[in-house]
Amino acid sequence: MKIASYVNVHGDVAGFHENGQVCLYENGENGWLKIREIPFGIHADLSLSEIKAAIRKAVAQLDGCKVFVLSEVRGLLNAVLQEEFGFRTWQSHGALLEQLDSVSRHDQAFIAAQAAKPVTGHTCSVPANRSGCGGGCSTHPSGSPPALTETAKPLPAPQSLGNGCYRINLAEILANDSSLNSKQVLVPFMASVKFTQLEVLCDHPPRWFSRELDKLDLIVASEQPAGNGKGTRVLLVPAKETVVHPS
C-alpha cells in the first residue's frame, strides 16, 4: 500500500501554507519506507489553474497512490484531490511516520465498508458518492494515534435550480454551524463545479471575494438586498458567461 502526505521539515503532517514537500510512503517487508519526495509549493497569488497544475504535476509522480494525509480536510486543495483526482483524504497532525499503520487500517476498513454497503447497508451519514467518509462506518482501531481523525463531514452544497444555476443560503448555513466559514463552504464548490450562475444569500458579501474570485475566473454579476429584507443576494457568474436570471 502507498500513502502520500504533505510534510514539513520535521516530518510532521503540514498545511500547504507551510514550507514542505509531498512525500510518498510504501509498506514493504521492512515496514514503511519513503520512496519519493516531491517539491511542492503554492501561495496565495496563484490562480486556480496554476494551483491545479501544481497538484496535477505532484499527483503524476505518486505511482497510482489514492490515499492522501492532510492537516486540514476542508478547502480547495482537498476538494481538488477528491473530486478531480479521486483521492481518499484523511486528516492528521503530528509525525506522519508514526501514523501510517493507523491510516492504512482506517483506509482498509473504509474500503471494506464501502464494498459491503449493498449487502449490509450503510449507516454513515456521508453520501455514498463522497470519498470523504474517512472510515466513519467503523470505529478507531485500538492503539490508533489520537491525532488521527475521520475526514470532515460533507460540506453543505448549493441547491441546483437547473440549467447550471445554483442557490445557497450561506447566512443560514453559518448560523447553524459555527465551525464553518464562508470560504470553506463556497470555494470547493466554485472550484470543482461548472455553473452558469451561483446565487449566494448572505448577511454581507464575504471580504475574500475581492481577492479570490478573479483566481476562480468568477465575477459578481449583481449585488442587492435579499428578498426577505435581511442580508444580501449576490449573484456570481463565470467571467465570460452571459447572465441568465432564474425564474
Q: Give tens-digit pLDDT for 102-117.
A: 888 888 888 887 776 5
- Of 132, 131, 134, 2, the C-alpha closest to 61 is 2
Res 68: pLDDT = 92
Task: Indicate whether 148 belongs to any domain.
Answer: no
pTM higher than 0.85 for the full model? no
Task: Indicate whether 222 belongs to any domain.
Answer: yes
Asked whether residue 129 carries a pLDDT value surpassing 50, the answer given is: no
* Interacting residues of 13 by C-beta distance below 8 A, sequence separation 6+: 5, 6, 7, 69, 70, 71, 92, 93, 94, 96, 99
Task: Indicate whether 12 belongs to any domain.
Answer: yes
Average of per-residue pLDDT values in the chain: 77
Give the structural domain span for 117: 2-133
Does 67 or 98 have the greater pLDDT score?
Answer: 67
Res 74: pLDDT = 63
Let me know whether 172 and 122 are in one domain.
Answer: no
Res 161: pLDDT = 93
Res 110: pLDDT = 80
Task: Indicate whether 138 belongs to any domain.
Answer: no
Average pLDDT over residues 55-79: 85
Res 71: pLDDT = 83
Residues 78, 191: Cα–Cα separation, whole Å: 11
Let me know whether 49 and 99 are in one domain.
Answer: yes
What's the total number of domains in the chain? 2
Asked whether residue 145 carries a pLDDT value surpassing 80, the answer given is: no
- pLDDT confidence bin for 44, thresholds 50/70/90: low
